[in-house]
Structure 1
């Protein structure tokens, strides 16, 4: 099976770190973030080729990974000349994808059994499988509830309530027909594409991962927290 890594974003929320380094190449411990993703895909023993979708500062990614032989896997590249959002970026790799494939975002760390997710997808004959995890947070403000009358009387005040639910962590298994839903050469989000599949009654499976199996590197705060964790893993030098 092939895997696609979406690594073409501008990394706006991580500026100024990303002025000269694309977000997937930011260091975590002694390696760039993207190298951990490549190693994780290889570890699954289900992936025999990786396609990296690149755009912003693409040469630093291509020069580092080259054809993948140094890492023990074949790596190809799909390049766009401008950001196309997540699904639009994936569409640029369509020529490489003839069968079921894995797709993941290049700004996260995953530590769950990908092989199990792939096997479930095939067994259930799903059109899409999405990796999800449980998440909870406290809202920043107090919420006020009103009654249903014309006077709109206040009936309750919930101060900074906690909400919880399942969130998408940006790792999917897709059938190749999914690519037909995505328009070419336009910015198109993965949420739009998946919602279209749900609307058209396609089978969208969930795969819920354990807490601690996912780390987002989306902004400066989360990046610094992840960086500290990986430096700690290295031990004393």
Structure 2
């Protein structure tokens, strides 16, 4: 299912009833996937940016479709995040503290890759430290905010604006309160093929709870998939509709889209196979992305983040590839 379905169901479970999509690239696919939102118990409306406006500019642009008053809370969810945190508690903190913004902060082992956000003992944010070699805290911006509506309305219109580098620091400088809701629940930025696979497997295995998934058995077989009894499929793998895993094949911690085929003796691990992709007998695919309709011939080994573009046909060989093809 679309990644955003997990966010929509999380929002609905938290009592949200109206969602504004801030779209840009390939905007039409969102309406095709989600329609009016009625199947989630939501009203969905759509706003499209003609040119990307940045993380805050997108929020300001979407505000044109908000219907709440100036003091109401507005939840902002980044579309590429999987999070198990308690959204209801985050909103409750926001309303109790009368903050301009309440941010979800998650805890990481190494904050150097993220925006570190130190807070007081009461939870008030005191600074924003972006990607520092010596971060002052392991609390980092997790990409879920609750804004007071009036705080959105002061974001400049018609230009690129960053919420991390401009909006939040300016709110602090003006004396507004920004709260940090700290919760170390499951959290993943699903921004690369590797983390997409990780997120999918975590959902199937139940490490990340979602109202949209009922984990069980360690694998997910969609309707019409065919897996031979002598095949080994494990590690949170999803096998799409009409996909086939033949006898003697091994598939671990991977995502097989509809119609993908893994032939006898082939091995696939931590990878994505696109729609109609084929991994021929004896081939090895590890930490790779195989595009729609692509074929990996017998004897090939594709590893280390390789991406095989849609429709490419690799003939039988004995060469190991570790760069894009």
TM-score, normalising length: structure 1: 0.72
Q: Is the 8 A contact 2:22 2:59 kept in 1?
A: yes
Partner of 1:152: none
Mapped pair 1:95 → 2:69: no
In the other structure, the counterpart of 2:54 is 85
Deviations 1:96-134 (A, max 9, x none): 233321001000012122111111111111111000011
Once residues 157 and 98 of structure 2 are traced to their aligned partners in structure 1, the CA distance between those partners, rounded to angstroms, is 27
Quote how far apart the aligned CAs of 1:60 are: 0.8
Q: Structure 1, unaligned stretches of length 5 or more?
A: 1-30, 141-159
Contact 2:104 / 2:142 at 8 angstroms: preserved in 1?
A: yes
- Of the structure 1 ranges 176-185 and 51-60, higher mean CA displacement relative to structure 2 is found in 176-185
Alignment of 1:47-126 (within 5 A): 47-97=16-66, 98=68, 99-126=72-99
> Partners of 2:76 and 2:84 in 1: how far apart?
15
CA distance in 1, matches of 2:34, 2:99: 32
> How far 1:230 moved relative to its partner?
2.9
Matches within 5 A, 1:149-164: none
Q: Which runs of 5+ in 2 are unaligned?
A: 114-132, 206-214, 222-325
Distance 2:156 2:175 in 1: 19
Q: 3-state DSSP class of the match of 1:92? A: helix
Shift of 1:219: 2.1
SS in 1 for 2:33: helix
Distance in 1 between residues matched to 2:134 and 2:178, nearest whole Å: 31
CA 1:138 to 1:81, structure 2 compared with 1: closer, same or farther past 3 Å? closer
Equivalent residue number for residue 19 of structure 1: none
Asked if the contact 2:111–2:139 (Cα under 8 Å) also holds between the matched residues in 1, the reply is: no
Structure 1 window deviating more from structure 2 (175-184 vs 65-74): it is 175-184
- How far apart, CA to CA, are the structure 1 residues paired with 2:145 and 2:189? 16
CA contact (8 A) 1:135 1:166 kept: yes
| Aligned residue in 2 for 1:188 | 161
| Kept after mapping to 2: 8 A contact 1:33/1:107 | yes
- Whether the 8 Å CA contact 1:133–1:210 is kept in 2: the answer is yes
1:220 aligns with 2:193: yes
Q: Is the 8 A contact 2:17 2:41 kept in 1?
A: no
Q: Count the aligned residue pairs.
A: 186
Structure number with greater Rg is: 2
* Greater share of helix: 1
Give the TM-score, by structure 2 length.
Answer: 0.53
After TM superposition, which residue ranges in structure 1, 4 or more long, deviate above 6 angstroms? 160-163
Match status 1:131 vs 2:109: no
Match of 1:145 in 2: none
Q: Alpha carbons of 1:139 and 1:216: their partners in 2 closer, same or farther (altered >3 Å)? A: closer
CA RMSD of the aligned region, Å?
2.3
Structure 2 distance, partners of 1:208, 1:75, is: 29
